[in-house]
Homo-oligomer: A and B are copies of this chain.
Amino acid sequence: MSQPINYPEGFRAAGAACGLKPDGRPDIALIASDRACTAAGVFTTNRVKAAPVLYDQAILAASDPQIRAVIINTGSANACTGADGLARTRQTAAWVAQALGCEPESVLALSTGVIGLPLALEPVRQGIAALREQLASDGWRAAAEAIMTTDTRPKIASVRHPDGFTVTGIAKGAGMIAPNMATMLSVIAMDAQVERALLQRALVRAAGASFNRIVVDGDMSTNDSVIALANGASGVTVTNEDTLVEALQAVCVPLAQSIVRDGEGATKFVTVHVSGAPDEASAMQVARAIATSALVKTAFYGADPNWGRIVCAAGYSGVAIRPERLSLWLLDAAQHPTLQLVERGEPLDYDEPAAIALMQEPEWGVHLDLGLGKTHTWIWTCDLSHEYVTINGHYRT
């Protein structure tokens, strides 16, 4: 993440401290475009959706949304806050529209923080005034810092596409991370011109290959959202879906990975590969069961090659695996098979000290072959540590 940031043309960003976080850290961010953007969104599939999610979904469902900005607050998720919560999101968007001189329905909103807490409007109003002054084309890092909660590092990624356009994204993550959907907050801006339906299709595909492949603790938040904006300021028009997916992935994959690397209390970044599956859904279901298992994740933490827990999780995943066909390997950081632990259901006499040494590294993988078909998939996950319990046992206090 220490690579130089490419700034998309026609966009400005800012982060500010407005008092939503009690410790005075930056807590509100704004991304603005100098012209109307086409926009796409992928949102939590949780039945309990925060007010800003409901608000954004309504705006993006309109016939021709012309998006100019995304405002992001921390401190309150504005979820489980009823009609009053929705009114506060509307008020926030109205203030941003006023500050930028656009229509309120050109403003999207994202929130993160404690559920059930009312969004404090006065800090937001002051924050928007400060953000307006600070908006700058190189303000992305400030914006990324201002949306951090239990994140320990800001998350930015950007790419200059050879076709002459730039994609830049920020994200926040850390806890409540599960796949099956955009599992955190992210805003991705590009200065290409992209037709709206194409942008939505490409974002869904890119999220499927990035944000939907990460697991920290298996909890899916009420607020998870990924927003993509395309303002056309570069003069380049993208019409090829694969080109667009590739460009989005070049930003979404490092953002998603950085969320796992910075997972709450995470000490290890582990890629869980599942191959030999009959289909993609089964492969994902097995990978997810492994990546979510508390017993697997604590074994990762303890660098314990207790492979039985991996096989066990596959066994209760709901997929009709056949134990006698399972093969299992440990992979090095480059995802190359290093040690085979199980061969078609039979435990092998592997080099245990070598396995422990590998698992003590900060980055490695496991690969389970189901022996049932030809589909392969993977998930990025982290371990479950004492620090995770410390962070989440006392999140609010």
Contacts and interface: CB of A to CB of B under 8 A. Distances in A.
Interface residues of A, number: 64
A49 B309 CA distance: 13
Contact of A311 (B48, B299, B345): B48
A46 interface: yes
Given A393-B304, A397-B302, A222 B82 contact: no
Contacts of A393: 298-299, 301-302, 304, 385
A117 B390 CA distance: 33
A77 B314 CA distance: 17
Interface string A305-326: 0111101111110011111101
A301 B386 CA distance: 13
A79 to B, nearest CB: 7
A114 interface: yes
How many copies the complex holds: the figure is 2
A5 interface: no
A82 B324 contact: yes
A164 interface: no
Given A45-B316, A218-B294, A294-B218, A311 B115 contact: yes
Contact of A80 (B46, B308, B322, B390): B308
Contact of A294 (B116, B222, B392): B392
18 contacts: A47-B314, A47-B316, A48-B311, A77-B308, A80-B326, A116-B308, A217-B294, A219-B293, A219-B316, A220-B316, A222-B308, A222-B312, A294-B392, A298-B389, A298-B393, A304-B395, A306-B396, A386-B389
